[in-house]
Amino acid sequence: MTGYTFEPDRPDPKPKGRARPEVLWSWYVEGKAHDAPDLETALALAKTGDGFVWVGLHHPSEQTMVRLGAQLGIHELVIEDAVLGHRRSKLERFDDTLFMVVSTVSYVDRTAPATDADGEEHEAGPEIVSTGELMIALGPHWVLTSRHHGKSRMAEVRAEVDDASDEMPDGPWRVLHACLSVAADDFVRVVGQMEEDVEECEEGVFAQTRHTEIDRAYQIKRELIEFRRCVAPLCGPLSQLAQRDYAVIPDDARPYFRELNDVVVEVRENIVAMEDQLTNILQAALARASIEDNRDMRKISAAVAILAVPTTLGAVYGMNFDNIPELHWQYGYFVLMGVNLVLMLVLYLIFRRIKWL
């Protein structure tokens, strides 16, 4: 992609040695990227029906979006969302322009150091799923993508656009489809990795150990809720793309969006199933913890009952009565100790038989 930078209206919070272009763009003709002198020339050629222009942004400034909005004829509400970000997936139409927000997810490996958007490593946090958003504005001869937060997958999107099937209708809608396709692939990958986490959590809860892993189950369930908030809102916009008429999307492109909708619906169903499974795991873990507590109380009660025998005998013979005949008996002590041991042994055998010990 070709890049250039507008004069920024805000300082870079993390200045780097090599400045990153604020705007990247490519001119596509018949599915292949071609060279053009500048963005204005590429847009003029695309407007005459010669391909389309793909403009890519990352955390654009307001000044950048205002200038691009004037060039591309973008609605002011789209400019506002592109600058400030929008956390929920949605699809809107402004005259002949479509605007879509896609929530993105990536799996965070807790055993490896996390990497931020600038490629810097830091200590991994407790989260399992990292979320972001990608915004796509689609016009008749151009498409604009703006990424906010989350892991960058634009290299995969570009590769999918470049490797698109010849049977797919040409046009800027291919970029929209590629963005949604990569996001759906990430959904499938993350849901598979979280299924492994749920299985490991289940094994940990039902393992033959004294400690029951409940914290891990709560953490996974919390992350699943965040995951579902990213996936569920996307089903509606995909269904609209597959069923409704839009001027910027050809009719023979609908089956491709219908296929993506089926994938996202399946992922959503898997998330709901995992949430139900985790609920059952938590209930089983709490029930098991309660059973373990009852077992401990039984053991304590049995021990108290056994120790009550010598305590009672000691209390009786420790009283200062003048007339206790066996105190003066030659074998009184040995008989008393024998009775003490026999009673304690009998109680021990009884508690063992009823499995209190």
**Ordered alpha helix ranges (H), the chain:** 39-47, 62-72, 76-84, 154-162, 173-205, 215-243, 254-317, 332-353
d(C-alpha 219, C-alpha 37), whole Å: 52
Task: For the beta carbon of residue 7, count every other beta carbon within 10 angstroms.
Answer: 9
pLDDT category of residue 208 using cuts at 50, 70 and 90: low
% pLDDT > 70, the chain:
87
Residue 8 has pLDDT above 50, yes or no: no
Q: Say if CB 111 and CB 206 are below 8 A apart.
A: no
- The overall average pLDDT reported for the chain is 82
So what's the pLDDT on residue 124? 47
Q: Average pLDDT of 226-237?
A: 91
Q: Which tokens sit at 343? A: 């009673």
149: left (phi over 0), alpha (psi -120 to 50) or beta: left
- Which residue, 152, 49, 155, is CA-closest to 106? 152
Query: pLDDT by residue (tens digit) across 295-350?
Result: 888 888 988 998 998 888 888 877 777 777 777 778 878 888 898 899 989 988 98
For residue 242, the one-letter residue type is: A
Q: Average pLDDT of 276-296?
A: 84
So what's the pLDDT on residue 263? 94
Q: Say if CB 123 and CB 114 are below 8 A apart.
A: yes
Domain ranges of the chain: 2-288, 289-353
Q: Which residues contact 63 (CB under 8 A, 6 or more apart)?
A: 6, 7, 8, 9
Task: Tell me which long-range contacts 233-242 makes (C-beta under 8 A, separation of at least 24).
Answer: 233/88, 233/89, 233/90, 233/103, 234/89, 234/102, 234/103, 234/183, 234/264, 235/261, 235/264, 235/265, 235/268, 236/91, 237/89, 237/90, 237/91, 237/100, 238/180, 238/264, 240/91, 241/91
Helices 173-205 and 215-243: angle between axes, nearest 10 degrees? 150
Query: pLDDT by residue (tens digit) across 50-88?
Result: 889 999 888 888 888 898 888 888 888 888 888 887 778
Query: pLDDT by residue (tens digit) across 236-279?
Result: 999 999 998 888 898 888 899 999 999 999 999 999 999 999 88
d(C-alpha 73, C-alpha 235), whole Å: 28
The CATH architecture to which 289-353 belongs is Up-down Bundle (1.20)
Q: What is the CATH number of domain 2-288?
A: 3.30.460.20
